[in-house]
């Protein structure tokens, strides 16, 4: 199995790259954002809880996130591997993911982090907000808070995966194809 943690601040291009990589490597893409939106749209108990945090640009608590992701992993027991997009965001979540994968006889192979300048991120998200319908993409103050939260609370995972020799920083600026090629060079060596 190939299990990737696709990492980067909001607007770095994780979803775009995950869509390409899941086809290329026949992996299951688990986007925390998509899982949240599904649960919110269907007004599940976990979704209602998550919505209150997301609307404020805050991180959803670990317990809620982990329950959602575990259910998603268990939906596809025949998977050749997973791309985790937007998860984990904390060391506690990373430990929970390691435990979940270990229970399936596998592990995280690599954290691939898309690195993009903050001003590029703000521009990308404001542009996406014009068509996405997502409130958190339409307000520059909320966007900047999301980026700040990423650096304050989640960039710590860079060290977590570096200690395991699983961290790979990738330049997240360029064409979709150029970025995919950079990521593929990492995956093909795993």
Instruction: Please confirm, yes or no, whether 134 is among the known catalytic residues.
Output: yes
Where do the domains of the chain lie, and which CATH numbers do they carry? 2-179 (3.40.50.300)
For position 157, what pLDDT does the model report?
92
21-59 pLDDT, tens digit per residue, is 999 999 999 988 788 888 899 999 889 988 888 788 887
Candidates 72, 89, 124, 182; catalytic one: 89
Instruction: Please confirm, yes or no, whether 124 is among the known catalytic residues.
Output: no
CA distances from 106 to 5, 7, 101, 102 (A): 14, 20, 5, 5
Candidates 37, 104, 128, 166; catalytic one: 128
Eight-state DSSP code of residue 90: S
61-107 pLDDT, tens digit per residue, is 888 888 888 888 988 988 999 999 888 988 889 999 999 999 989 99
For position 126, what pLDDT does the model report?
93
pLDDT at 153 over 80: no
| pTM (two decimals) | 0.82
Candidates 134, 135, 148, 162; catalytic one: 134
pLDDT at 180 over 90: yes
Q: What is the mean pLDDT of the chain?
A: 91
For residues 55 and 137, the answer to whether their CB atoms sit within 8 Å is no
Cα–Cα distance between 44 and 51 in angstroms, integer? 10
Candidates 14, 22, 72, 124; catalytic one: 14
Candidates 72, 124, 146, 182; catalytic one: 146
Strand order in the sheet with 81-85: 28-31, 81-85, 2-7, 110-115, 167-171
Measured in degrees and rounded to the nearest 5, phi and psi for residue 126 equal: -65, -40
């Amino acid at each position: 199995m190939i299990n990737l943690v696709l990492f980067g601040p909001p607007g770095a291009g994780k979803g775009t790259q995950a869509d390409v990589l899941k086809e290329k490597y026949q992996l299951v893409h688990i986007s925390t954002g998509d899982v949240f939106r599904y649960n919110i749209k269907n007004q599940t108990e976990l979704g209602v809880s998550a919505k209150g945090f997301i609307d404020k640009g805050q991180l959803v608590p670990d317990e809620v996130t982990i329950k959602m992701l575990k259910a998603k992993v268990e939906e596809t027991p025949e998977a050749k591997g997973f791309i985790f997009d937007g998860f984990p965001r904390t060391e506690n979540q990373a430990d929970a993911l390691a435990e979940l994968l270990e229970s399936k006889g596998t592990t995280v192979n690599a954290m691939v982090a898309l690195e993009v300048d903050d001003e590029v991120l703000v521009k990308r998200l404001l542009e996406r907000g014009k068509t996405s319908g997502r409130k958190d993409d339409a307000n520059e103050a909320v966007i900047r808070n999301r980026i700040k939260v990423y650096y304050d609370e989640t960039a710590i995972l860079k060290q977590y995966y570096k200690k395991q020799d699983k961290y790979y920083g990738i330049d997240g600026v360029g064409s979709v194809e150029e970025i995919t090629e950079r990521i593929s060079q990492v995956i093909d060596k795993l």
